């Protein structure tokens, strides 16, 4: 049994909320603070999430270069926009924005990893060369954030099986995986291929998976 001091429900504090108009809908923005690091994490919600079917959801790790600076080296910014668009189109859903830059290694180290990639390493090799795990993110924070809104099951927009596994271990049901395949381009082709080959990301659409016998 987990010690109560470190149980996921006690990892963050909810602080406050405000309205957040976007090009796609007027979301509500909710702020949380992580106890151990002081990091500020966010949730964007739309509609009533406490009742009805499992809402559309996205767990998005911070990517300053992709989300803010429009970098084409990754698909992060495009995934963020696509997820918000889909939630807006449905009129109901949640996006968790976790401050886990660079798969958990931080912004400066991510830039160091980019430099190694320019010398020939792939994204996994670069992280390992810097002394980090291939993916150092931790998803325990998701539980108390979803509990804040009474959410016990989600339709998760992701290509990453690790997120699905993490939610299952936390007791959150993934009622459906919704592929999020956007912005493949000449600059991120190797990045996306490495995600699939070395991290197990599911880089095919739901239709393609059925045709390939993967569903």
Kindly name the residue from 67, 75, 86, 137 that is annotated as catalytic: 137
pLDDT tens digits, 102-118: 888 999 999 999 999 99
174 within 8 A of 153, measured Cβ to Cβ: yes
H or E, element range at 96 = strand 93-98
Output the pLDDT for position 7.
53
Q: Active-site residue among 67, 75, 122, 135?
A: 135
**Residue 174 CA: distances (Å) to CA of 44, 91, 134, 159, 190:** 19, 19, 24, 13, 29
CATH number 2.60.120.260 is the correct assignment for the domain at 8-100+137-211 = no
Domain boundaries, the chain: 8-100+137-211
Catalytic annotation present for 135: yes
Residue 59, annotated as binding a ligand:
yes
26 is in an annotated binding site: no
pTM of the predicted protein model: 0.88
Residue 2 annotated as part of some ligand binding site: no
Q: Is 63 annotated as a binding residue?
A: yes
Question: Helix, strand or coil for residue 144?
Answer: helix
Q: Identify the pLDDT of residue 1.
A: 30
């Amino acid at each position: 049994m987990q010690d109560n001091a470190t149980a996921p429900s006690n990892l963050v504090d909810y602080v406050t909320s405000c309205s957040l108009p976007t090009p796609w809908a007027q979301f509500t923005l909710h702020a949380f603070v992580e106890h151990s690091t002081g990091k500020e994490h966010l949730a964007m919600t739309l509609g009533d999430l406490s009742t009805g079917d499992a809402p559309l959801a996205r767990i998005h790790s911070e990517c300053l270069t992709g989300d803010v600076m429009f970098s084409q080296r990754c698909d992060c910014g495009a995934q963020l926009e696509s997820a918000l668009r889909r939630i807006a189109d449905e009129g109901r859903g949640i996006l968790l924005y976790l401050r886990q830059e660079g798969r958990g290694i931080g912004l400066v180290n991510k830039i160091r990893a980019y430099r190694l990639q320019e010398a020939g390493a792939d994204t996994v090799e670069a992280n390992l060369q810097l002394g980090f795990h291939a993916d150092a993110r931790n998803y325990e924070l998701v539980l108390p954030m979803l509990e804040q809104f009474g959410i016990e099951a989600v339709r998760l927009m992701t290509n990453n099986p690790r997120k699905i596994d993490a939610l299952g271990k936390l007791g959150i049901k993934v009622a459906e995986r919704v592929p999020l395949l956007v912005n493949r381009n000449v600059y991120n082709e190797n990045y996306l291929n490495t995600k699939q080959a070395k991290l197990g990301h599911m880089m095919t659409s739901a239709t393609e998976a059925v045709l390939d016998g993967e569903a």
